[in-house]
Amino acid sequence: MRGPGETGDFGVAMPEHDGQMGANEPARDGDRPFRLGAVAYLNSRPLVCGLADDPGVDVRYDVPARLPALLDDACVDAALTPVIDLLDPKRAWKVVSDACIGCDGETMTVRVFSRVPPDRVRRLWVDPASHTSVVLARLIWRECHDCRLDVEPLADPSGADGCGAVLLIGDKVITAAPYGFTYQMDLGAAWKALTGLPFVFAVWAAKASTPTESLAARLAAARDRGVASAAAIAREDGPRHGWPAGVAVTYLTRNLSFTLSPRHRAGMKRFLALGQAHGILPCERDLVFA
């Protein structure tokens, strides 16, 4: 299974936002609200904080793997897109915000479960909701175990118990973890051990032709509100997603990161370089930052 790819200059400065965008400012020249596609997991909640009360924004939720198609089909104007989907050379997309879903170590929710030690895993069944995480797993096995994983899609994550090794992402890793697996590997922790860098799973993206200046300010302000309120969001929304409240607080306040810092961009650059070096990601074009 191969994913499309590209190189990228992540030294490009992200736009600066003052966080003062008024909720009543019209979006897209006042024609209609911005339509956003967001991840339907707990990890996205800090990134959309307050947007439900913004008349200039309409948020739609789905699993990560389906959000790129919503953007392709113009069902949304911008989406919280898995990084790997930005790399398709057939797409003219841009990163429109310095808000992201990333980690600087353990994620809790991007995890490989296996019945044998990781260095003996040869076939990996993968969550149909995952995109970037699949490539990350392939890179980690190539770098750490000199192994080319045979990757197979898992039609139904509830059937993971019948697999020898499976990659699962999202809330289900905490709320419906599979049984009978002796070994677990958190891919965020594995990436940090391999590179010493953070990892970025998803960013806000739009088609290159979409005007996004006012949207970028809204997204930055929402992220800032969400990070400031992450513990409260976790205590309120965590149980709604099936999480124990205390675990949810740790997840949103310690495990995840929500800003594309210089170190996060360096992690993205390293991810692309390794993918190209191993022939997993072809060299086609650069990422574009608005």
What per-residue confidence (pLDDT) applies to 7?
26
CATH 3.40.190.10 range(s) for the chain read 28-102+199-277, 110-195
Burial class (CB in 10 A: 0-12, 13-18, 19+), 262: exposed
Band the pLDDT of 226: cuts 50, 70, 90: very high
Write down the pTM of the prediction.
0.86
Match domain 28-102+199-277 to its CATH number in 3.90.1010.10, 3.60.21.10, 3.40.50.10070, 3.40.190.10: 3.40.190.10
Task: Tell me the per-residue pLDDT of 134-150, one tens digit each, with 9 for 90 and over.
Answer: 999 999 999 999 999 99
Torsion angles phi and psi, residue 283, rounded to 5: -90, 105
Match domain 110-195 to its CATH number in 3.40.190.10, 3.90.70.10, 3.40.50.300, 3.40.50.2000: 3.40.190.10
Q: How far apart (Å, rounded) are the C-alpha atoms in residues 38 and 36?
A: 6
Band the pLDDT of 285: cuts 50, 70, 90: low
pLDDT mean over 41-63: 94
Give CB contacts under 8 A, 24+ apart, made by 233-237. Answer: 233/45, 233/46, 233/49, 234/42, 237/42, 237/45
pLDDT mean over 254-269: 95
Q: How far apart (Å, rounded) are the C-alpha atoms in residues 270 and 196?
A: 10
